[in-house]
Amino acid sequence: MAFAQEALASSASHDSEYGAFLSFRGEDTRRTFTADLFHSLKVAGLNPFMDNDGIKRGETISSELERAIESSKVSIMIFSRNYATSPWCLDEVLKILQHSKTKTHGILPLFYHVDPAAVRHQQGSFGEALAKHESRYGKEKVEQWKKALKHCASLSGYTFPNPDYSFQIDFIDDIVKWTGDEVGIRKKEETVFYYDVFVSYKSKDIPKNIIKLLYATLQKSKFKSFEDEMNRKENTDSEFDATISQSRSSIIVFSRNYSYSPWCLHQLAKIFKYSETKRHVILPVFYLVDKETVIGQADRMSQELDGKYNEQFNLWRESIKGVAELPAISISRSGATQR
């Protein structure tokens, strides 16, 4: 992801104070959840620190990371399945806990696809990893890690997946709000938009020259849009969610196979939900299909998607209907009309 490369590179400088130090297991979440969280914290002006993997790793936590922890106002621990396999991560927990006892330093544990009890009591993958560490690091060191894990995992934190969060970006939003409160920076009531338009479409249905023309027209009209058509495989759902939340409006291009793409339907549902709570304008475009066909796809697509995505299926159906009934533009082979 382009934003991740820029964000990770920016974390190399330790000259300024950081808002949040992110502790995470790289192989679990570096290029996915942690990168998306870093991006959202950065957009909110909270100056997070994320190890860019350029720091030389040894047997213990480096002095460079110790300085990063000491110069951060809060620490966010992203407990994932393989977190405890890394002595580096476990030393970060120790350092963060020690620092919090001498300074005002907030700690937020995140339980990402793990049970908080498994972290607190070192069960499952956490227990297995710590048992393996004993032969190399000794029982005394492992006991220190266990006590630190138990203490930090007993603090109030957030868990994902969770019924309270329809999307991962909602989980991230709560983390950003917590961080802002802790470091004394609250989000302004008025949303700051980074894009004017987000465009959702099924790439295989629409010729590339038409998409390029759409983006060129938006640019010519001074509308800033998020152009992702060349890098769709590199973007995660969370990045798209964040981009939608940072856009004033969305154009949804319904085409023949739009409703058969879980990728598109995820974007559609996020856009529709966002428009119900924020001032977010949606323009549906029917490309070589009519409104009735689009609404009808909600029934036909069930054969392919209902069984696999049954929890999301009803949300997708409602979103298709809600968006398709808005004032729209229809594009046929004879031209475009408003409807």
- Catalytic machinery residues: 92
Element (H, E) at 77: strand 72-79
Task: Tell me the sheet residues that pair with 335.
Answer: 332
Query: Quick one: DSSP state of residue 17?
Result: -
CA 123, CA 105: separation in Å to the nearest integer? 27
CA 182, CA 73: separation in Å to the nearest integer? 8
CA 109, CA 306: separation in Å to the nearest integer? 35
115-121 own/partner pairs: CB under 8 Å, 24+ apart? 116/153, 116/157, 116/159, 119/79, 119/83, 119/149, 119/153, 120/149, 120/150, 120/153, 120/154, 121/150
| CA-closest candidate to residue 271, choices 131, 117, 166 | 166
CA 67, CA 62: separation in Å to the nearest integer? 9
